[in-house]
Chain A
Amino acid sequence: MKRTIFPYLVLAPLILLLIVFLVLPILGSFVISLLDYNPLRETGNTFIWFDNFKRLLGNELFGISFKNTLTYVFIMVSINLVVTLLIAQLLTTLSSNKWRSLFRVLLFMPCVAPLAAVSVIWQKGILPTKGGLLNIFLSNFGVAPINWLGNASVLMPSLLIVSLWADIGYNIILFISGLQGIPQDYMDAAKIDGAGPIRRFWQVTFPLLGRTFSYVTAMTLISQFQAFAQFSILAPGGGIARAGYVLSTYIYDMGFGNKDMGFASAISLTLFLVILVVTLIQQRVNRVDWGY
């Protein structure tokens, strides 16, 4: 199309909004991270330059939450991808459209609920040691009650279960549509070659799903790094032995609990950097030939 000023007219207000509500806050966050900053006071917010970042090094709680965040995201994304892909594959195999959409709808339902509500239901109804549905269920198999939120080695798995429950619906839908987009010819050809279902999956389905897979991975990664509600409700203050402390809750506690906003900003910028790096790595690793 010929050159006009139309694009600039359209984009100017949008970019202005983005600048005010995204770029300025990021820059602001950077400036704050260089300050000894308490927004309550009018004076005394002095520049301490990189002291807040220096404090990160060797800070025990930062170390713990950094490690927990990476562990959580890595395990969460892996399990999420495997489980959702498996469910999607099974649901695609199902030949009844009616049943498939019923299951798909049910599995997606938690995704429309606020995570805060989901977390509260799990906290009050499912996970309690005594009277929680999970322990009641397990007791049928002779399992002694487990303290899901009060045992340092079980806390993170509990959080993973809650997050998975709340989140798998999206990816199941995405994978089902990805799987349905694979031309049947490829499958038939592989079948004729005598490939079993597992080999067919690895040699045909998986490579052809590359694009969906890459998209799903990136989206899940980015959103899980920022997971907040379930951690703040199920593991306040990091929970037992701080086993459920992640960067998002640590930032909130430092900023609003300790009122140390400079330090909180330094952590949040670190989180941003981590997300950026991990996403870039993921994009490299998952680089696929688009289209078939």
Chain B
Amino acid sequence: MLDQKYYDTADEIIALHGAKPSSLIPIIQDIQTEFRYLPGELLSYVADKIGITEAKAYSVATFYENFSFEPKGKYVIKVCDGTACHVRKSIPILERLYSVLGLSEDKATTDDMLFTLETVSCLGACGLAPVLTVNDKVYPAMTPDAAEDLIEELRGAE
């Protein structure tokens, strides 16, 4: 059972966008931004409030890549594998990060809830390829070594 403050926050977000079916996506985007994931209980709650079925709400939330029912780490790292980054060797960076963080394609978040590792198809920073982002901050011209240093730096900041 979620804490009451989750529902209070959801109420505020619903009020901001209006309790209508077309507000579903902006509402759950804001919920996810707030809590770094989309708690299933809140999705059902939102569906009820804006007048759509739970099934509809889940069909939408599972369709879009950005929504996650799993809590994400404090630092969400996105390694760009768009064409320009791919041609400039983004995969070795991803592989190094998997090994440094002990993650894999099936396990995206570290147990200490510090890091989530994802890939993204093009961040539009192709001139700086290969790039990755940490919580939307872009790090340009990465190498596997630089990525490893970055992890150390973020860990050190904790």
A pairs with B: no
